[in-house]
A and B are shown apart, each in its own frame.
Chain A
Amino acid sequence: MQGKLTPTHLDAMTELFNIGIGRAASRMSGVIESPFDLSIPRLELQSVFELRRRMLVAQTSGEILSQQFLGDCGGDAYLIINRTSSLELIRILLGDGFGTLGMGDIEREALKEITNQLLNACLGTLAEVLEFEQQGCLPRLVHSKELEERFRQSNVQVLLVSMVFATDRGRVEGQVAYVMSAVSMERLVGKLNQFLRKYA
C-alpha cells in the first residue's frame, strides 16, 4: 500500500524526532540553566479514535495546544500534556512563583512558547533532513468542539511521539501528535524512501 509506514520508516522517524527533541531541550536547558534528562522518544502510528480519546482525557484537566504546518508534508501538530505536567513544565521553566494558582494568561503564553519551540524543533528537523519545505503557523489552544470537527475527517493519519523530560526540579511526560491527510502521509513516506535510498 502506498503511503504506509514500515518499521524502517518508524525507526528513521524516531531518530529524527530524537534530534528535534534534543534541539528543543538544548534551548530550554539554556533558559533554566539546568540540564534535561531526555528519554528515547517512542513513536507509533495511532488511530484517530485513540488520539481523540487521549486528547479529550488531557483536555478535561489541561490544555491542548495545536500548531499548523504548511507544506508538502503539512498537517496539524498537537502537544498533549495533562494539567499536572503542564504546570510542572511551567514551574521548571519560569520558576516556583508560576503555575501555583493554575493556568492563567502568563502560564498559557509560556505553554504556547514551549509548544512553538518543541514542535518547530521536531518538525523542522524532519523538513531539514528529509529536504522538504515547511512553514509553521503560530500555536494556539484548541477546544473540544474543534477537535471533534477535525477528527470527523476519516482520511487523517496520526503519528504519536511520547517523550519524558526530567530535571532536578521535576519530571514531565507528554506526547506530540502529528495529524496528516493521507496525501501528506504519502508524500512523507516518499521523502523517507528517498532519504533511505540515499543514506541507508
Chain B
Amino acid sequence: MAVQAVLVVDDSLLTRTMVTKIINGHYPEWDVVQADSAETALAIARQRVFDFVTLDYTMPGQTGLDIYPNLRALMPSSKIALLTANVQAHIQSESEDQDIEFIAKPITEEKILQFVASVEV
C-alpha cells in the first residue's frame, strides 16, 4: 500500500495519540497529522490534502459535522470518518446523509485499521 497521509481531528489528546499509534504501528511510513480543534483542522487542510481524515463530533467551537462541507470541498477524494462518542441516532443519520463513515468510540485497533484499509488498492 502506498504511503498515505492521515489527518486526525479531535480535542482529546488521548484519541489523537491512540489513532496515531494504531496507524503508525501498522504503517510506520504513513504521515499522521493531528489537529486539536475544528479551526486548526481547516487551517491544516487548506495547506495540503490528506488521504484519510478522522473527525470528532463534539469539540470546542465547531462540531465535526459543521466543518465537514469545507473539508470535503478542500479534499474531494479523501476518505473521511466521523469518529465520535456521541452515538445518538440523529448524528448517525446526519453522517449517512452527508456520506461520512460513522465510527463509534471507544477506539479499537480493528475499527481504525478497517477504516484506513477501506480504500486499499
Contact = CB atoms under 8 A, between A and B. Distances in A.
Interface of A: 8, 11-12, 14-16, 18-19, 21-23, 25-26, 29-30, 35-36, 38-40, 125, 128-129, 196, 199-200
Interface stretch (B27-35, B38-46, B79-87, B95-103): B79-87
Contact of B88 (A12, A19, A35): A35
Q: Chain A contact residues: over half helix, strand or loop, or mixed?
A: helix
Contact of A8 (B13, B18, B59): B13
Nearest to B13: A11
B90 A35 contact: yes
Contact of B86 (A15, A25, A199, A200): A25
Contact of B106 (A16, A30, A40, A196): A16
**Residue of A11, A22, A23, A35 with highest tally of chain B CB at under 10 A:** A22
Contact of A200 (B18, B60, B88): B18
B105 interface: yes
A29 B58 CA distance: 16
Interface of B: 11-15, 17-18, 21-22, 58-60, 84-91, 105-107
**Residue of B17, B22, B87, B88 with highest tally of chain A CB at under 10 A:** B88
A23 B85 CA distance: 7
Given A36-B88, A199-B18, A199-B22, 4 more contacts: A16-B106, A22-B85, A23-B87, A200-B14
Contacts of B84: 22
Contacts of A12: 14
B14 A11 contact: yes
A30 B18 CA distance: 30
A16 B59 CA distance: 15
23 contacts: A8-B13, A11-B12, A12-B14, A15-B14, A15-B15, A15-B105, A19-B85, A21-B85, A22-B84, A22-B85, A22-B88, A23-B87, A26-B87, A29-B88, A35-B89, A35-B90, A35-B91, A36-B88, A39-B58, A40-B58, A196-B14, A199-B22, A200-B14
Contacts of B21: 199-200
A22 B18 CA distance: 19
A151 B35 CA distance: 42
Given A25-B86, A26-B88, A129-B106, A40 B17 contact: no
A167 to B, nearest CB: 11
B88 A18 contact: no
B58 A200 contact: no
Contacts of A129: 106
A26 B15 CA distance: 21
Given A11-B12, A12-B14, A200-B17, A22 B87 contact: yes
Contacts of B22: 199
Nearest to A36: B88
A200 B88 CA distance: 27
